Amino acid sequence: MFWLFITGALGASILGVSPKMQSLYQAEVFSCLDGSLDVPATFINDNFCDCTDGSDEPGTSACKNGQFYCAEDGYSPFTIPSSMVGDSICDCCDGSDEEPGKCPHNCKDKKMKSQENLRQKYTEWQQGLVAKLAVIAQASVNLQTKEYEIKKHKELREAGEKQKKAAWTVVKYLNEHQGCSEGSEEKFESIGNTMDEMVVSATNKIKDLEDELTYDVGKEKEFWNLIGLCTDYKEAKYTYTVCFYKDAVQKEGSSQFLIGRWNGFAEDYQKISFTGGDRCYSGPERSLTLTLECGPTVRLYGLEEPERCVYTAKLVVPGACKLDQY
């Protein structure tokens, strides 16, 4: 570990320290960043933890609570726990967290890959915005169509009620006047029954249409396309089916568990939750939270179970695209 020790030499750049913090490590005496202790500069990165905050060992794994700065050759620098230093796993693209020569220097490749991912995300965002506008436009048309259908079914129900009433009035008359032609009563009974069925059908259709109009589909109706839509995600032996505005289930062969029932949007339309699912054995009720991401098509992915019977996943959907996203 000699490569770690020499980085504590006075005046040298200290391994694991960010450029803006280097000046704090250049004096002959180093003051722990939490003010707990003053130690000689030679104690820095000597593989022994002196400071309670681990600040004297940024470049070794001696302190459990220390932080190591990955310079990344100027590409998106970040910090890692210093316990990850010298563990034979290359965390920094410049290899600075491991002995010299142990890790490939792939910052350029990482930057290129990141830029390609960013370009792909940007393209998906553009396509997603177009798809979102199309959903909003279609929602407006569908809304007018459904309102028209409700009106027509109400008219149909009203007409059916009148014809039903007329048919049963005739049946009553025929019952009271037995001299009428044979079969007349049965004919009007059939008409009355048919009108009964028509009225019930129209009433059910009106309820279904009116229920759809009560769904929360976003501030601009940007989630209208989720009404009646189900999407699947397969993970190992399980198939997860999410039906929006209804429920989410987990299937394994012929077995099926309810993960949760639709509980609506949350966090300003950034999440969707399903709650009140089947209870786990000696555990909580199952639940699912979807985090929404921008994209041109509806896609479910990345399902995880961070806690027992508590599921999370990502949902790509046009409605999640924002104008100011990029």
| Domain carrying residue 161 | 149-214
In this structure, are 231 and 206 located in the same domain?
A: no
State yes or no: pLDDT of 320 exceeds 60: yes
Contact 284, 187 (CB under 8 A): no
With a cut of 70, say whether residue 32 has pLDDT above it. Answer: yes
Flag whether 103 is in a domain.
no
Of the pLDDT bands very low, low, confident and very high (cuts 50, 70, 90), residue 207 is: confident
Give the mean model confidence (pLDDT) for residues 164-191. Answer: 64
Residue 238's CATH number: 2.70.130.10
pLDDT confidence band for 153 (50 / 70 / 90): confident
pLDDT at residue 283 above 60? yes
CA distance 256 to 100: 53
| 235 and 210 in a common domain | no
Domain-embedded: residue 127: no
Residue 134 belongs to a domain: no
Q: What is the mean pLDDT of the chain?
A: 88
Same domain, 164 and 235: no
Q: Give the count of domains, the chain.
A: 3
Average confidence (pLDDT) over 192-210 = 79
Query: What pTM value is reported for the model?
Result: 0.62
Look at 303 and 101; give whichever has higher pLDDT. 303
Whether pLDDT at 30 is above 80? yes
DSSP characters over 214-273: HS---TTSTTGGGTT-EEEEEETTEEEEEETTTEEEEEETTEEEEEEEEEEEETTTTEEE
Whether the per-residue pLDDT at 10 is higher than 60: the answer is no
Q: Percent of the chain at pLDDT above 70?
A: 89
Residues 232 and 313 in one domain: yes
**What value does the mean pLDDT take over residues 276-291?**
95
Domain end residue (candidates: 214, 236, 257):
214
Q: Residue 117: inside a domain, yes or no?
A: no
